Each structure stands twice: as C-alpha cells, then as structure tokens.
Amino acid sequence: MTNIYSTAAEMASALAAKEISAVDLTKQHLDRIASVDGKLHAFLHVDSEGALAQAEAVDAKRAKGETLSPLAGVPIAVKDILAQKGVPTTAGSKILEGWRPPYDSTVVAKLKAAGVVILGKTNMDEFAMGSSTENSAYGTTQNPWDLTRTPGGSSGGSAAAVASFEAPLAIGTDTGGSIRQPAALTGIVGVKPTYGGVSRYGVIAYSSSLDQVGPFGRTVLDTALLHETIAGHDERDSTSINAPVPQVVAAAKRLDVKGMKIGVIKELSGSGFQAGVSARISESLELLVAAGAEIVEVSCPNFEYALAAYYLIAPSEASSNLARFDSMRYGLRVGDDGSKGAEEVMSATREAGFGKEVKRRIILGTYALSSGYYDAYYGSAQKVRTLVKRDFESAFAKADVLVSPVTPTTAFKIGEKSNDPVAMYLSDIATIPVNMAGIGGMSLPVGLAEEDGLPVGLQIMAPLMQDDRFYRVGGTLEAALLSKWGKPILSNAPDLMVQK
C-alpha cells in the first residue's frame, strides 16, 4: 500500500496506475506535517491550499489521459531560499519577512511543470550561512533522530522533512556542504550537482561561484528522479552549462561497479574523524570491493587549506550579493520617518534585519576585498582554489570517483557550537573542496555510528559533469547495504519516524 513511508518511485508508479490520487497522497503528507512538525520545525511555511490545488490539477490531467512527467503528483518540500510566486520566501532572514516573490525560480517552475506538488518552504540558516539551522531567524530545526541535536545545515529543514516522512523529496542548496552535510546527519541521500548543472535563477544568492541547487531523497533512485527533473540549461542563468544532463536515473539503476576505481582521499580519513564514522566508511569500501570495484589511495595535500580559502571567498561574494538588501525595493524597511536619508535607513534596516552570522560574514568579506588586504586574503584564497582543483585533477587521473566521510562527526547537539564560529566551520571540512572545484558530490547513508546510534554519510565525488558516476556507485552500495541490513536505515530511527 502506498503511503508516506513509500519511496518517491513507488508513489510515482502507484499514481500512474491510479492506485492513489495525488490529492490523497498530498493530504497524507499534510497530515504528517501537522502531527510532527510542531516538534521538528522543518517548515517555515506550509502551503496546504496551493499543494492541494496542484494535486487536483495533476489528477485532472491524469483522468484525461494526458502524458505526465515521472514524478507528477509526488509531493516535495522546497528550501526557503528559492523564489516561489506568491508564497512567502525569507531565506531564513527577518529582512525578507513577509516578502512574496512576484515570480518563480527556474527550479520551482520546473517542479510545477512536472506536476511535483510543493508542500511548503523549509527552514534554513539565514541566507544559507551555517551548518545547523541555528542561524535561522525563525528558530532551529530539530533532528528527527534525536530532537536535542541539529539536523545540520544550512538545508536542515529540507533534510529533516525527508527523514521524518513529511515529504519524500526536497530541494536544497549547497555552497560548502549545505545539502550533503544535513543529508549525512539525518540518514538520507543528498546531492550537490556539478556547478552549473541546475539553474540558480531565482535562488537568493549567497556565494555565486559556489552555490548550487540539488535534490534530497530517501533513496538513490528517488534522488536521481528529482535530479533529472530540475537539471538542465537555463538561459536566465549565464553560468548554467549548455550540455546534455548526465543520465543519473539510468546510473542509479545500474547496480554494478565492476572495474571501477574508487579513490580514498588520504587527507580526509583517520584522525579528526569520529571512530564510528570511520568504521562505517571502511565497511562500505569492503562492500564496494566485494561488488567488483578497486580501491586506490589518492592524496590531496592542498585540501587542508580549502576551509580557510572558503571562509574568505564565500564571505567576499556574500558581502557583494547581500548589498541588494537595501530596503528600497522589497523586504524590510526600518526608521523611515521622513527625517532620515536613504543611507541611514539602509544601515538601520540592515542592522535590524540581518542576524549575527550574516553581519559577521558581510564584515569579513568587506575586509577581505578592501584595498591593501585584497591580495593577502581574497587573492590568496583564489590561488588555493587553483591548488584544490589541481588536487582533484590528479586524483581523478587515478580513480573514477573519490570517497570520504561527509562530516567529521555524527549530528551534534543544538547549542554545542553556536558560540564558536571556527568550530562550526570545521563541520564542512570534507565537503568544501567539492564546491571550490565546482564538481558534484553525493552523501549516501551508510549506517549508524556505534557510539551514538546516529547516521553516518559517505561522500562520493565525480569529475565535472560526470554526476552519473556517483549515482552508479551510490545505487550499488545502497543495494548492498540494504541486503546486509534487511531494512532501510530510517527504520532504525526513534518513534517520531517509525511506521506505526
């Protein structure tokens, strides 16, 4: 029977066979949100009316015998950084409270055109700056595995929604790990596509040379189905790649890694990673070897500088991108009593509308770009970016895909790192190099850490525009893990999520 615990692929075939209507499936998910989101706070806005209207339209088209997209009628949750016409879009910031975009982002438009039912907008760190959702101006999202822990971030709301069966699929964005890290911490699949693989039009910009939109799902195939739905060239995004979309659905179904070379990155293993994380990664590698893959060790000596470079490049680009929030055309305006000039009103609005981390990054970026410091900071960071790219190039000369843990630890406690920015930044140490080079990466759940029973993610990386490779490896490993465990990883989660 099809219900909220089914995979998106199962939902899609049940819908196509008219065993369930899109309206019924949508109602089941809205009921689930109503019953559990009070504890999780994954959603900032639930659009029941819009979702039901979309579902009715899909059912009507199906009744008429129209040809529909593979995911037509399947519900989804969308990170609140993507503009959706007429629906509140805040990017987790007070400065956009109450804003309803007059247009759709390309990804939202593609979802609507494919009949994917948008349930609502999910919580996130303000402007995607953070790794825990604690920087949201609207409160923190809880991890469905343990409500005292963070689901990761910045796309933590999207990840928590999928892991808790509020939605089978979700959209996130990933600038330094913001899809892969929350996927790892909640036990689901998350993909950062190759830079330029998915349009950024209508996605509120944080760091434009690093930002990328991507899919979340509970299985590799579900994630691939969503990936193909949202990917492709868009003339409204000048950095969008004008080439065929990698065949990720076919790759996810291939279930064969014979002869593939899997590169283990020496610098992203061993000390610095929680023992239970390393144990699950080693076990996964054994399964891949059993499936016919070959393991090779590769070295990426410059990765240790990637984190530092990221925290110069991203704030620099952010300080420029966030200049658009000037209180003149949309969003919050503070102190406009007729006596103050535009610049005073701007400064007062930005003081009131931006949170602490956003201000910190704006000031840091302004500093790194200022004359006298530009070469020493931003310029040096751009050189490190070259070195990181070269490390990947030499590693991919020896291996078809590269692997590492996604995160140094399992989900951390809410509040544990919120007063120590540098410690928080370290949670992205394994994910950042991927964004710097623009390549794609997947986070695949590979089991629970023995010491705390929390999910562990394996990161699988492939060269530019070869996203199908990590779907192939991910799909094969997922099948091997499933036959080993006998049940999906999420069935180990606590009461909140377990099928009654």
- DSSP 8-state symbol, 214: E
Minimal CA–CA distance to 158: which of 330, 323, 4, 42? 42
Interface positions, 202-221, toward another protein (CB under 8 A): 209
Contact mark string toward another protein, 448..487, x via CB under 8 A: ----------------x-----------------------
Residue 441's SS3 state is strand
| Residue 369 beta carbon to another protein: minimum distance, rounded to whole angstroms | 10
User: Which position among 131, 178, 207, 278 bears the catalytic label?
Assistant: 178
- DSSP 8-state symbol, 444: E
By the rule CB under 8 A, 45 interacts with another protein: no
Stretch that binds another protein, among 66-74, 177-185, 353-361, 453-461 (CB under 8 A): 353-361
How far is the C-alpha of 19 from the C-alpha of 249, rounded, in Å? 24
Per CB under 8 A, the list member of 35, 63, 97, 100 interacting with another protein is 100
How far is the C-alpha of 318 from the C-alpha of 364, rounded, in Å? 10
By the rule CB under 8 A, 343 interacts with another protein: yes
By the rule CB under 8 A, 332 interacts with another protein: yes
By the rule CB under 8 A, 341 interacts with another protein: yes
286 or 420, CB closer to another protein? Answer: 420
| Residue 363 beta carbon to another protein: minimum distance, rounded to whole angstroms | 5
Q: Is 178 a catalytic residue?
A: yes
How far is the C-alpha of 284 from the C-alpha of 486, rounded, in Å? 16
By the rule CB under 8 A, 330 interacts with another protein: yes
Strands of 348-439 (E only): list them: 401-405
| Residue 389 beta carbon to another protein: minimum distance, rounded to whole angstroms | 6
Determine which helix (DSSP H) or strand (DSSP E) holds 469, and give its type and residue range: helix 467-485
Tokens 């994630």 locate to 223
Interface positions, 250-309, toward another protein (CB under 8 A): 302, 305, 308-309
Q: Is 39 a catalytic residue?
A: no
How far is the C-alpha of 264 from the C-alpha of 418, rounded, in Å? 31
Backbone angles phi, psi at 193, to 5 degrees: -65, 170
Tokens 């075939």 locate to 13
User: Which position among 6, 69, 93, 154 bears the catalytic label?
Assistant: 154
- Cα dihedral 482/484/487/491 (nearest 10): -100
How far is the C-alpha of 476 from the C-alpha of 463, rounded, in Å? 19
Minimal CA–CA distance to 203: which of 298, 348, 91? 91
C-alpha dist (Å) from residue 89 to 54, 120, 133, 291, 406? 19, 10, 16, 45, 29
By the rule CB under 8 A, 372 interacts with another protein: no
User: Which position among 21, 69, 79, 121 bears the catalytic label?
Assistant: 79
Per CB under 8 A, the list member of 43, 273, 377, 396 interacting with another protein is 377
| Residue 269 beta carbon to another protein: minimum distance, rounded to whole angstroms | 21
Query: What residue ranges bind another protein (CB under 8 A)?
Result: 99-103, 195-196, 209, 235, 238-239, 241, 302, 305, 308-309, 311-312, 319, 323, 326-333, 336, 338, 340-348, 350-351, 354, 359-360, 362-364, 366-367, 370, 376-377, 379-387, 389, 421-422, 425, 436-439, 464
List active site positions.
Answer: 79, 154, 178
